[in-house]
Structure 1
Amino acid sequence: MEYWQPEVETLERGALRELQLKRLKKTVNSVYDNVPFYNKKFKELNIRPEDIKTLDDIKKLPFTKKNDLRENYPFGLFAVPMSKVNRIHASSGTSGKSTVVGYTKNDLDVWANLMARCFFMAGVRPGDIFQNAANYGLFTGGLGIHAGAEKLGCTVVPSGTGSTEKQIEMIRDFGVTVLHCTPSYALYIAETAKKLGYEPGSLPLRIGLFGAEPWSINTRKELERSFWIRAYDSYGLSEMMGPGVAFECTEQNGLHIWEDAFIVEILDKNDEPCAPGEKGELVLTTLCKEALPIIRYRTGDITTIDDEKCSCGRTSVKISKFFGRADDMLIVRGLNVFPSQIEHVLMEMPEVGEHFQVVLERVNHLDEMTVKVEMSDRAFSGELGDLKKVTNAVAGKLKSSLNLRTKVVLVEKGSLQRFEGKSKKVIDLRTSI
């Protein structure tokens, strides 16, 4: 099967909306008839499935939050009997009960198909050797990415995480052309490769697919410079299915969301629709899921929408790189701060590296924020005068961007802990006091 699918990917907006409405009605009927949680919600709002006559009627439907999945743990939101569930994935549960998601055989086929579309859109082709350096197991990034790459016709190397030198050996010896992992782990792989004597461009890679954590345009430049590749952003969340909800095309200027599978809303703080280009929370409704259909899921991700037709030819709307997550947002002295803002500032400064860590403490009842950042080995001599100058420069840039006084500590390159999965950039000690 060819994974450039113009009959869907270039569908005119009117026809696309008709398809969405047909699938939305089916989804609404499914949750009303089969999921007690939604049946109760609908009755509380005095709505029935037949009240959904247009796409605009979606605003009549209830929101779903992550906590709703936790409160219905493990299978309370499933719309099919367990005999029809072919696979289960779950979050780690580090901030509460795990969120459990289920898939029918058809769900798995749809997921693999969407993933294959994503990869094709980013330039991956049948015959590419695809190394998946993501966690396998309950985490959706392992098997989800793997199935899509196989569906497309790639040769898949299921390397998983860890053993970084072995990862590099496989890339070299197997002729790996496509790498998937978190951007922070990719930077660590690049750093390790350099220590092993590999020059940029000496590995066979040509495409990098990165996701699972926020990363900036400057991180893209660093990755592309380190590997001599094209680096593409991806977006997914297990509640929707996993990775593959949205992906960059070769234009690299926004992530296409597959609107034949999801209805996209960007809502302001009053839950009203945002205009294109206006920041708001991404809210998603599934249109093709059988085991776990979800209505108006509040992702917590802050983004903007672009409804202009992309020059790649695809007609699905695009979302911008995320400005942060509502649930990752830091409130420091009454100000909202996103780690991605800090990363953006640091990546514009050649004096420091791309690795940093934010430490939040409460001192004399006031919030104090310390940013530890690794020094660049090529920027300055290391003399005390230079160190102070760079420290002041970083602190000044952060204050200008965040409108917040920040303590900056420069540390040696390689001294901050590296992570093979999602990086842990924030240590909040305020709650432990």
Structure 2
Amino acid sequence: MEIIKDKANNTETIQEQKLQELLKYLSENSPFYKRLFAEHNVDVAAVKKVADLTLIPVTTKDDLQKYNDDFLCVPAENIVEYMSTSGTLGSPVTIALTDSDLDRLAYNEYNSFLCAGGTKHDLYQLMLTLDRQFMAGIAYYSGIRKLGAGMVRLGPGVPALQWETIKRLKPTTIVAVPSFILKLIQFAKETNIDISQTSIKKAICIGENIRNTDFSLNILGKKITEAWDIQLFSTYASTEMQTAFTECAEGKGGHYQPELLIVELLDESDQPVGPNTPGEVTITTLGIQGMPLLRYKTGDMCMYFDEPCACGRTSLRLSSIIGRKKQMIKFKGTTLYPPALFDLLNEREEILDFVIEVYSNEIGLDQVALYLVPADDSEECDHRIRAYLQARLRVSPHIKYLSVEEIQKIQFSEVSRKPIKFIDKRA
């Protein structure tokens, strides 16, 4: 993959130096990578440039799940925090952080908030959990502290309390899952809250796409901005990479932090793709002590853009997630990714909420079930929903209507940290 040169920071040289330090560190301290290097006869001294990374085999989610403890590079007494992945693509993985790793996490999110126009004069209302081993929560908290801004740690859910706090403390920015912002808007309508008169100017959107790959707002993003005149900033991150890609005010993709990460987008043969071409996001972490990763395939499919941004930043930018590789659905001859289905379902006023479930039938083919909360129980509403899905998908998934309470029991299990809208029950 081409590395975009930033003349001011000499990005390419910095990455090469940090990459060589990482390879030496892994060859001395990582049980997993010691074994990988030996099994594949990898000479780490021969890897001098980012382009040389193709000499090293990729690491997969399966590796991290199967050999989780073997990725640890420091004694247990050096670990100050244990985080975990959400388990979207399988069983959760534990990520161990040292004190230095927590500092790096704060620096990462500090950069992200700066990128999204944040200043020390902002007040952020955090509508997400800071417990349950959730890395994003502590990352936002630490980044805001480093920024010198104020924050309100309110947690997820409870629209009434969110609005009461907004009215009382007057935050300028919210950090929330986009679908929850829609619920805030709906609650405001039902209770006659004039959202145009509130203090909120921006929303940092986490966990869900708000844009299409051409940077235009998708249905979810449009629904929010049509009802509420606030600026949306999209983000992309994962627990494993301990780094975020965050939009600037231009809204043209998530900005790369090359001093913290090397990113490759790979094709089916694990070869780098060019700009504007879908590929699997594959990351090499820089500056991590506890559990650094080398050529780790995230499972997320994105595109990258290498032309300089109008904001002045010259490093590459990532598109929104096209889909997750393991979540691709082949349904009656049609290829679907969950984000595309989310857009379809978010578009209809007749559908208030939803969960998508995919499972295998008796001969191993993908089947799709939609659990929907309809606007009403009428036959007319049902007919409009089914006709719309047939027209847009060309196929008819199984539909089951649920109440708000029933859908929330599915979306928020005892261990979930964000609403679950896609369930994969395939073998």
Mapped contact 1:183–1:213 kept (Cα < 8 A): yes
Q: What pairs up with 1:308-347 in 2 under 5 angstroms? A: 308-333=307-332, 335-347=334-346
Separation in structure 1 between the aligned mates of residue 235 and residue 61 of structure 2, nearest angstrom = 21
Tell me if structure 2 keeps the 8 A contact 1:200–1:225.
no
Specify the SS of the correspondent of 1:89: strand
Which amino acid counterpart does residue 143 of structure 2 have in structure 1? G
Question: Could you tell me the percent identity over the aligned residues?
Answer: 27
Q: Distance in 1 between matches of 2:421 and 2:83?
A: 25
Counterpart amino acid of 1:285? T
Q: Contact 1:12 / 1:315 at 8 angstroms: preserved in 2?
A: no
1:128 matched to 2:122: yes
**1:406 has 2:374 as partner:** no
User: What residue number does 2:387 align with?
Assistant: 392
Matches within 5 A, 1:211-360: 211-216=206-211, 217-241=218-242, 244-333=243-332, 335-349=334-348, 351-353=349-351, 355-360=353-358
Is the contact made by 1:353 and 1:413 (CA closer than 8 Å) also made in structure 2?
Answer: no
Closer/same/farther in 2, CA of residues 47 and 10 from structure 1, 3 Å limit = closer
**Inter-partner Cα distance in structure 2 for 1:106 and 1:359:** 40
| Residue identity opposite 1:220 in structure 2 | G
Q: Let me know the Cα RMSD of the aligned residues.
A: 2.9
TM-score by length of 2: 0.87
User: Which of 24, 42, 50 is equivalent to 2:45?
Assistant: 50
Match among 68, 78, 82 for residue 88 of structure 1: 82
Distance 1:334 1:31, change over 3 A: farther
Matches within 5 A, 1:10-49: 11-12=6-7, 15-49=10-44
Aligned-pair CA distance for 1:99: 1.3
Shift of 1:316: 1.4
Write the distance in 2 (CA, Å) between the matches of 1:114 and 1:312. 19
Matches within 5 A, 1:24-173: 24-74=19-69, 76-92=70-86, 97-137=91-131, 138-173=133-168
The aligned length equals 411
Bigger Cα displacement from structure 2, 357-366 vs 185-194 = 357-366
Give the drift of 1:185: 2.1
8 A Cα contact 2:236 2:320, kept in partner: no
Structure 1 Cα separation of the partners of residues 301 and 88 of structure 2: 22
Structure 1 length-normalised TM: 0.86
| CA distance in structure 2 between the aligned counterparts of 1:283 and 1:364, rounded to whole angstroms | 34
Look up the SS of the partner of 1:315 in the other structure: coil
The 1:395–1:423 alpha-carbon spacing in structure 2 relative to 1, beyond 3 Å, is farther
Of 411, 422, 425, the residue aligned with 2:421 is: 425
**Kept after mapping to 1: 8 A contact 2:112/2:245:** yes
State the 1:195 CA deviation: 2.1
* Structure 2 unpaired stretches of 5+: 212-217
Give 3-state SS (helix, strand or coil) of 1:201's partner.
Answer: helix
Contact 2:304 2:317 in 1 (8 A): yes
Which has the larger displacement, 143-152 or 56-65?
56-65
One-letter amino acid matched to 1:358? I
| Structure 1 residues not aligned, in runs of 5+ | 1-8
Q: Which moved more, 1:24-33 or 1:153-162?
A: 153-162
For each residue in 1:371-426, what CA deviation from the matched residue of structure 2 results, as whole angstroms up to 9, or x when unmatched? 3445569xxxx975575345313320122xxxx44356677889843659422223
* 1:249-282 C-alpha deviation (Å, 9 max, x unpaired): 1111211121111111111111111111111101
The CA distance in 2 between the partners of 1:18 and 1:95, in whole Å, is: 35
Contact 2:255 2:318 in 1 (8 A): yes
- Show CA shifts across 1:62-114 (max 9, x none): 2122222222334x312222333232212355876541212222222221112
Q: 1:67 to 1:384 in 2, by over 3 A?
A: closer
Contact between 1:142 and 1:160, CA under 8 Å: does it hold in 2? no
Distance of aligned partners of 1:287 and 1:410 in 2 relative to their CA distance in 1, 3 Å threshold? same
Q: Secondary structure at the match of 1:245?
A: strand
